[in-house]
Chains A and B, each alone.
Chain A
Amino acid sequence: MGYADDHQWSQRHLSHYVEGDLSRRARRRLDRHARDCADCGHGLRALRALVYAVQGLDGLGGVRAPASIFDQVRLAAAGGPPPDA
């Protein structure tokens, strides 16, 4: 396998690498390639940063469900129990 093959393969598997989904052998292959390939090294850093940043979007601690969330089900229940209850 040449550099070009490794490069294409690595580019396709950067997210799998970050996710920890690669086998040990595949991980070593990507590690080896990324050491010499600025593009893939850059891509790995970008994907790690992306996952970190998306995780940071989880800041909705103050958001509450509207009080009306059970309004429709209350109406439905007034018509009778769920089927087979």
Chain B
Amino acid sequence: MIPTEASLLARAQDGDIDAFEELSGAYADRLYMLLLRLLGDREEAGEVAQEVMVRAWRGITRFQGRSSYFTWLYRIAVNEANRALAKRERQPPSVPLGPQELDLPASPTDDPARQAENNELRRALAAALAMLPPPLRTAIVLRDVEGFSTQQAAEIAGVSPAAFKSRLHQARLQVRAAIGDDALIAVGG
């Protein structure tokens, strides 16, 4: 029988590391991708991901199920990413998040000129996201890239929905200003 998340959680809270690994392992890839987007550096994302797991393990007995386990784990990841970014003294990622760095697939179009234009926009977007202050980057990554609802994204970011929306709108405005309306409309409009 495949153990349920609830049974894995109960076992993990009783100190079963195998259960913890199975429980958290289901979200490991997605969590790592989030860290990669927020930090823009594979090595650092890997190190922070390990720290997230340690913190989750140490705190798992305090998890009371008020949010989903996934949301709780993601919130730890966002906090740890912000802590790592603060350590860099607010410097942007040394390696910008870009299609090449992250092995993003090429945009799906048969027209080479259009594809080049799309890829150029994607690179510019990734660079603009990397330049955002961490709270704004977190907002746009959670809402627009990861596709969370505002409510869930706010919960993960640890702020009220109103504060989250304010950050999201600021983030979009800053990225829009960095890319330029004409470039956005030419490719996406």
Q: Check if A and B associate.
A: yes
Show the binding face of A for B, using Cβ within 8 Å: 15-16, 18-19, 21, 42-43, 45-66, 68-74, 76-77, 80-85
In the complex, which residue of chain B has the Cβ closest to the Cβ of A52? B188
| A37 to B146 CA separation, bound complex (whole angstroms) | 33
Do A53 and B57 have beta carbons less than 8 Å apart? no
Report the 8 A-B pairs with minimum CB-CB distance, sorted nearest first: A81-B15, A49-B188, A46-B181, A65-B32, A85-B15, A77-B17, A65-B28, A15-B169
A-B contact count (CB 8 A): 151
Question: Is chain B's binding surface mostly helix, strand, loop or mixed?
Answer: helix
Give the bracket for the number of chain B residues in contact with chain A.
Answer: 35 or more
Do A69 and B188 have beta carbons less than 8 Å apart? no
Do B125 and A73 have beta carbons less than 8 Å apart? no
Residues of A within 8 A of B173 (CB): 15
B15: min CB distance to chain A, Å: 3
In the complex, which residue of chain A has the Cβ closest to the Cβ of B59? A82
Pull 13 A–B residue pairs with CB atoms less than 8 Å apart, ordered by A: A15-B173, A19-B165, A19-B169, A50-B172, A53-B187, A54-B140, A55-B144, A58-B147, A70-B25, A72-B51, A72-B54, A74-B21, A85-B13
